[in-house]
Structure 1
Amino acid sequence: MTIHLYFVLLLCCGFIVQTNGLFRTSELFPSIADPNLSMERIVRNTGYPFELHHVTTKDGYILSVHRIPSNNTNVNVQNRRVVLIMHGLLGSSADWVVPSRDRSIAYLLADNGYDVWLGNSRGTTASKNHTTLSLQSAQFWDFSWHEMGMYDLPAMIDYILAHTGQKQLFYIGFSQGTTQFWVLMSLRPEYNEKIKLMSALAPVAYTGHIIGLLKPASFFANFFKGIYRYTGFFELLPNTALMRFLTQNFCREGMPTQYFCEFITFIIGGFSTEVDHAHFAEYVEFAPAGCSYKQLVHYAMGIQNPGHFRPYDYGTLNNIMVYGQFTPPEYPLDRITAPVILYNGLNDFLAHPDDVDILSRKLPNIVEKYTVTLTRLNHFDFMFAVDVRQYVYDHLIEKMNSIP
């Protein structure tokens, strides 16, 4: 559940939300002009090919999916190995290409002959389009990670398989990218047959043991969930010129304020000794990438109800109309038959080891639970740690390569 340092930075700057009927951040501090062009520039400057694809979901959201075709010229349609990689909350596909080519899982997989597809969930910087709804409307932002699992993921999976001519693909999810996977595979179990292997980085389902800054924040998010009744659902923490200015000027190496930026990430995701100080500002340049207020509230519900992993709680009366019972039903994780490897760290505040243990006992087809013990990785280390390749990615790629 990627919660970046900007959550606190925006609070310090006089937290401004983008909402229907309230002051809009996009009008004062516009987003980057074209995030797809920015992605293409980064990938091509690193020496890899790039393709932009647009996928439309069943409920009308238009998603940007970025493709890095294999560098292996010997790969043909018959032996093509396809992988979809999904970011976490407030993240985007940029998270996977900003690290250097010897530390980015996207580039490492491309070097290993994989056809790499990087998804962008609805509402993030590169996926702010809809066939009928305006970005400024409350209806556009009426979604959580439940809808991402029910609509975004199947749309991307089906598009990629149809485009590549394959019947199955590999899936790598980080944080929220794992949450929406559990939603899809449990409620639409036919999609399990389309997954060769799911590699879950810092997996998030059960959240009752979360510690750090997000624990008290969840009380406020859950308490104020009724705000949508007066404003409609709205966007939080978009990637604006203001946020890029803050990171570029206060989080870069050589600035004394960089340590404050890093400290904020520590109290959110866990303390780490794996921070790349020289490139820290680059890692957070494209984040936060925006999310719906409803996404945060949905996670807060899980934090406040330990031991439960359920759809959105609309209140007793509305739950009866939506679910036919007073409380939302548990996601039926026993229906997830796709093979899964769980990767977790010992100092992860958000994907806490105790919560990962609960998840591992619920999933019926765990290939391996890989706990990194050489160092105490925090939540964000699974993307940006100096030695993430040694601790995680080499093992991940070895396991993927072992599957025919």
Structure 2
Amino acid sequence: MALLGLMSFAALTLFLVLTTVPRQAHASSRGNLGRNINPSVYGICASSVIVHGYKCQEHEVTTDDGYILSLQRIPEGRGKSSGSGTRKQPVVIQHGVLVDGMTWLLNPPEQDLPLILADNGFDVWIANTRGTRYSRRHISLDPSSQAYWNWSWDELVSYDFPAVFNYVFSQTGQKINYVGHSLGTLVALASFSEGKLVNQLKSAALLSPIAYLSHMNTALGVVAAKSFVGEITTLFGLAEFNPKGLAVDAFLKSLCAHPGIDCYDLLTALTGKNCCLNSSTVDLFLMNEPQSTSTKNMVHLAQTVRLGALTKFNYVRPDYNIMHYGEIFPPIYNLSNIPHDLPLFISYGGRDALSDVRDVENLLDKLKFHDENKRSVQFIQEYAHADYIMGFNAKDLVYNAVLSFFNHQV
């Protein structure tokens, strides 16, 4: 379904799916709602890590184009000491679009991936993309200016990821394991295809990958994609795409007004039925998300689906593309160029309507020449998109497999 707005809506879906009331979530009294520390005031370490008895450090790294990014480091497990002299393997964990690093820390600590990794002997680093609440600073630009938001996921490939990896590598002196979810998989794959990061990378785990999204074809998806096309002239007048802003809010309400569209059940209608979310976890999510991204990023995501290929941002006008790239059309990120001996773990779900099985199979086909013993693929029939970051059983189904994968890399 090559519609202009499909990928933009796919990115927007991550907000819609996780911020509409998911009445099918499992009830639970085991969430983290008992916290009385406001993350917006005190940050991720104080509100969501230290409170559980873990050490946590707030770090900053500046990209080559001037963006100041927030990183949280969890150097060791709860109640453990790093004084043993053993160097722990570093892991960088990257969130998706319209959210931030908090999404990895919404369940009780024994169910949260960063804390599970720390308890199992890893040196954990949580990344926060430019434009999100803890990464909204720049050496000269202010977020209120359009210039601050003049970027797409190309810049995440070119600047954010290298800055984070260079910093973590400089702090640890070791090759890095990587975990990405959703857009965190797309940016990683594009980076690997250009040879970026691979010399500092030990292995990568890609959860619910979205390199391709051509088969997101629910009725709501079709309506939303068409509607988004009609809104380009107004919505895209804004440099910052803020899901909490009035313009985006009006767009969402217009979608819900379409006949046959049930916004009460968006969780199922858009991503498939997430099997394993506790209501308390979703409540905590609603307290912290969504986050802003750039409108240019949303446009780039739309182009990604329309073209059916991963390319750099298309400025449409040939002279603009020539000015930026030296050619009429934007260059392609060729996933076949990813080193065949790079250890990859890919996990996808049978009920994920955003990262559809057919699209993941297309990705796997691009990786068909990958060394067989360096590619591990996991399929979970009952999982949908949000289960990978907030599922109460993700530890048993996914995270233990990620741990095993990391531990088997030499």
Q: Same fold (TM over 0.5)?
A: yes
Contact persistence 1:239–1:287 (CA under 8 A): no
Question: Given the alignment, which residue of 3, 7, 14 partners 1:3?
Answer: 14
Match of 2:193 in 1: 186
Pair 6,275 (structure 1): closer, same or farther in 2 beyond 3 Å: closer
How does 1:5-404 map onto structure 2 within 5 Å?
A: 5=16, 34=40, 37-71=43-77, 72-73=80-81, 79-166=87-174, 168-187=175-194, 189-212=195-218, 213-222=220-229, 224-225=231-232, 231=237, 233-237=239-243, 263-306=265-308, 308-317=309-318, 318-337=320-339, 338-363=342-367, 364-365=369-370, 367-373=374-380, 375-404=381-410
Query: Using the alignment, how far apart are the partners of 2:312 and 2:361 within structure 1?
Result: 21
Q: Please give the secondary structure, in 1, of the residue aligned with 2:149.
A: coil
On the 8 A contact 2:18/2:386 being kept in 1, the answer is no
The alpha-carbon deviation at position 171 of structure 1 amounts to 0.3
Residues 106 and 390 of structure 2 are in contact (CA less than 8 Å); yes or no, is this contact kept in structure 1? Answer: no
The structural deviation recorded for 1:267 is: 2.3
Task: Tell me which of the two structures has the higher relative contact order, counting C-alpha pairs closer than 8 angstroms and 6 or more residues apart.
Answer: 2
Identity, % of aligned pairs? 28
Q: Shift of the alpha carbon at 1:52?
A: 0.3
Deviation at 1:75, TM superposition (A): 6.5
Q: Helix, strand or coil: the match of 1:82?
A: strand
Distance 1:389 1:211, change over 3 A: farther
Q: Give the Cα–Cα distance (whole angstroms) in 1 for the partners of residues 42 and 150 of structure 2.
A: 24
Structure 2 SS opposite 1:83: strand
Instruction: Return the TM-score normalized by structure 1.
Output: 0.81
Quote the residue 2:24 is aligned against.
none
Please state how far the C-alpha of 1:272 moved relative to its aligned partner. 2.2
TM-aligned CA distance change 1:8 to 1:225, over 3 Å: farther
SS of the equivalent of 1:285 reads: helix
Distance 2:65 2:238 in 1: 18
Judged with a 3 Å threshold, the aligned counterparts in structure 2 of structure 1 residues 384 and 149 are, in CA distance, closer, same or farther, namely: same
Q: Write the distance in 2 (CA, Å) between the matches of 1:311 and 1:190.
A: 15
**1:192 aligns to what SS in structure 2?**
coil
Counterpart position of 2:23? none
Q: CA RMSD in A?
A: 2.8
Task: Check 1:162–1:35 CA distance in 2 against 1; reply closer, same or farther (3 A cut).
Answer: farther
Amino acid at match of 1:182: L
* Contact 1:222–1:300 (8 Å) recurs in 2: no
Q: Is the Cα contact below 8 Å between 1:52 and 1:67 reproduced in 2?
A: yes
CA distance in 1: counterparts of 2:310 and 2:376, whole angstroms: 20
Q: Which moved further from structure 2: 94-103 or 129-138?
A: 94-103
Superposed CA offset, 1:69-92 (max 9, x none)? 112425766532100000001111
Please tell me the residue identity of whatever aligns with 2:396: Q
CA displacement at 1:127 relative to structure 2: 0.5
Shift in alpha-carbon separation, 1:218–1:145, aligned structure 2, 3 A: farther
**Secondary structure, aligned partner of 2:178:** strand
Q: Is the 8 A contact 1:234 1:293 kept in 2?
A: yes
Question: 1: CA distance between counterparts of 2:52 and 2:19?
Answer: 32
Contact kept? 1:55, 1:159, Cα under 8 Å:
yes
Unaligned runs of 5+ in 1: 10-31, 244-259
TM-score by length of structure 2 reads 0.80
Instruction: State the AA in 1 paired with 2:143.
Output: L
For the 8 Å contact 1:276–1:386, the answer to whether it is kept is yes
Deviation at residue 219 of structure 1 after TM alignment: 3.8
Query: 1:214 and 1:288, CA in 2 relative to 1: closer, same or farther beyond 3 A?
Result: farther
When structure 1 is superposed on structure 2, of 291-300 and 123-132 the one drifting more is 291-300
Contact 1:85–1:171 at 8 Å: present in 2 too?
yes
Give the direction of change, closer, same or farther, for the CA distance of 1:112–1:7 in structure 2 (3 Å limit): closer
Q: Could you tell me how far 1:131 is from its partner in structure 2? A: 0.5
Are the structure 2 counterparts of residues 215 and 365 from structure 1 closer, same or farther at C-alpha, using a change threshold of 3 Å?
Answer: farther
Work out the CA distance in 2 between the residues paired with 1:89 and 1:219: 21
The separation in 1 between residues aligned to 2:127 and 2:110, in whole angstroms, is 21
What is the match of residue 247 of structure 1?
Answer: none
Aligned to 2:110, the other structure's residue is in SS state coil
Distance of 1:36 and 1:203 partners within structure 2: 32
Distance 1:60 1:397 in 2: 34
Aligned residue for 2:346, secondary structure, equals: strand
CA drift at 1:377: 0.8
Greater shift, 318-327 or 220-229, is seen at 220-229
Aligned 8 A contact 1:6 1:237 in 2: no
